[in-house]
Chain A
């Protein structure tokens, strides 16, 4: 009996949870809906930071979703919609900040890191080669002739 009560409760609660996140927007076609989903996934909620407005249930995130939807219906482009929200809430709402003088380091750090690492590896390799070269200098013509002679003698020894 308690089990049935538990199940009934679970069913009830899951209905509430699902209803809370569902906004009802009507899109003409699948592509528009996908575009909307992409847009709200890359806009950040200013209230509950570190959530995008797709995930957030804050009232302000809801207002922002409404605005995105309204502008899409009015035929606005993606950039236009994002700019409109940045104009109100600041660069903070962009999960993908523009590349400019302020965000230069943010975007360039991974590249700088990779190239710095490669450079360090290259320097280490070149140095160790050079050192190995210094320890084993190339043989002179005279020494080469001597080696050839020794090898030839050894071969004779082996066959006899």
Chain B
């Protein structure tokens, strides 16, 4: 018993060490979305290309989609744009854009110059849908299943590595089950 007590401080130190070590390397700025497992919030917002057409959450029905939140004011969105085009063209991924807190003219010029990887683009100049989605910084990308349920969120730039390690496995699983 006495011997055991002598080792107690060592034991406590090891336990604390293991707990703290597990936290190393985690990025605390990447939060898990509160919407995982929940449907895309209801919305009614205009189409970026066509101001008279209104889009709503039924946009996400029928197939697995990526919802990409972007704006022309966001430098990291420029960074990932070519990778989004690569995903849409080479990988056949359906990407829906959420043009977030932006203005229409700038967004159209951007798409004209850089190409358009999006099947549809929701125009959200006041950021209302972004707010309901819990978007706290563009770019953010959500994986949404064929039933319109949010399955995954990636905060930050999309590139080949993120696609292979994070998004593709989720999408494959959803398509396998669906």
Contacts and interface: CB of A to CB of B under 8 A. Distances in A.
B6 interface: no
Interface residues of A, number: 14
Interface in A77-117: 86-92
Contacts of A90: 31-34, 134
Given A49-B29, A59-B101, A89 B134 contact: yes
Contacts of A60: 135-137
Contacts of A92: 31
Tell me the dominant secondary structure on chain B's binding face. Answer: loop
A88 B29 contact: no
B29 to A, nearest CB: 6
B136 A46 contact: yes
A33 interface: no
Contacts, number: 34
Contacts of A49: 28-29
A46 B29 CA distance: 8
Contact of B35 (A59, A63, A88): A88
A90 B133 CA distance: 11
Given A59-B101, A89-B34, A92-B31, A67 B136 contact: no
Contact of B131 (A47, A67, A86, A91): A67
Contact of A86 (B33, B34, B135): B34
Given A86-B34, A89-B134, A63 B127 contact: yes
Nearest to A88: B134
Interface of B: 28-29, 31-35, 101, 127, 131-137
Given A89-B31, A90-B134, 7 more contacts: A60-B135, A88-B34, A88-B133, A88-B134, A89-B136, A90-B31, A91-B34
Interface of A: 46-47, 49, 59-60, 63, 67, 86-92
